[in-house]
Amino acid sequence: MSDFTSGFWPIYISIITLVSIVGTFIFLRSQTTRKLAPGEKPELIEHTWDEDLQDLNNPLPRWWLGLFYGTLIFALAYLVLWPGLGNFAGVLKWTSTGEYEAEVKAAEAKFQPVYAGFMKQDIATVAADPDARAIGKNLFLTYCSQCHGSDAAGAKGFPNLTDADWLYGGDPDTLKATITDGRAGVMPALGDALGADGTRQVANYVLSLSGRKHDAAQAAAGKPKFEENCAACHMPDGTGMQAMGAPNLTDKVWLYGGSEAAIIETIAKGRNGVMPAMAQTLGTTSNKDAKLHLLTAYVYGLSQKQ
């Protein structure tokens, strides 16, 4: 049953539907009431096909008419029992939302004992359990793979969850907080403050921190600018700050790309990264906490394999 924004449309749809059914019945009756008298021959319609194929005005077969009338009766019965006439919910009061909620309730009752067992174990223990990993993987593919990929290797702007590099920390409690409440990371745009030359200098200094190819003169000029504009978040040595989600610039991991051009773009325009809160995505079901527990264990286990 649809939610209409105007009271006109439910009435309009109901009238059109019922008029169509009644009109079909009347038209069918009007074309099939005449019967041939005994000995009367059917009339020939004045047209032929394929030279000798003729069209006679014989009455329609009764079995065919019975099927046609049956479809009209079925349509009326359906509209009485189920929603189909505007806002009329039908005698059975069926809704897709109600059916979904009933299926969710049945699934929760079925899996509650399984979830209860895992909730008694810590994240590390659950992560080592093959059955728990299978459930966690299904949850990950449902809720997380759209951004992080089905293999959890991530993509540009979406972290790789299979390595040991974590923006906010990779211990079980921190991971659970990240998944439950989400994260919002902001890298401010510094292009106007640094200017084009200053941005390039800082970019080369950042390249030097991880041992990547860079211009030494540009990097030397960029170091004081980095200390003035970037060290508050990334620390003076560039090792980052997990409390703020500021990445470590001394390793080989780059969320948006580690080329000079990509780093210049990041510094000049800034970045805004959002990790949605899975507590909201998983809804208010009674098994939500268990799902978060299993999902956290699965993600934790991904990096422990390295």
At residue 49, does pLDDT exceed 80?
A: no
CATH, range 186-275: 1.10.760.10
pLDDT-based confidence at residue 52 (cuts at 50, 70, 90) = confident
DSSP for 236-249, written as a single string:
TTS--BTTTTBPPS
Q: Per CATH, which fold does 104-182+276-304 belong to? A: Cytochrome Bc1 Complex; Chain D, domain 2 (1.10.760)
Which residue do the tokens 């919910």 mark? Answer: 89
Distance CA 231, CA 253 (A): 18
Q: Are 250 and 163 in contact (CB under 8 A)?
A: no
Residue type, 106: A
Mean pLDDT, rounded, for 88-99: 90
Q: In 3D, which of 161, 162, 165 has the Cα closest to residue 179?
A: 161
Taking every pair of Cα atoms in the chain, the longest distance, rounded to a whole number of angstroms, is: 112
Question: Would 104-182+276-304 and 186-275 be classified into the same CATH topology?
Answer: yes
What does the pLDDT look like over 194-232, one tens digit per residue? 999 999 999 999 999 999 999 999 999 999 999 999 999
Confidence category of residue 284, pLDDT binned at 50, 70, 90: low
Q: What is the pLDDT of residue 190?
A: 97
pTM of the shown model: 0.70
Q: Where are the domains of the chain?
A: 8-81, 104-182+276-304, 186-275
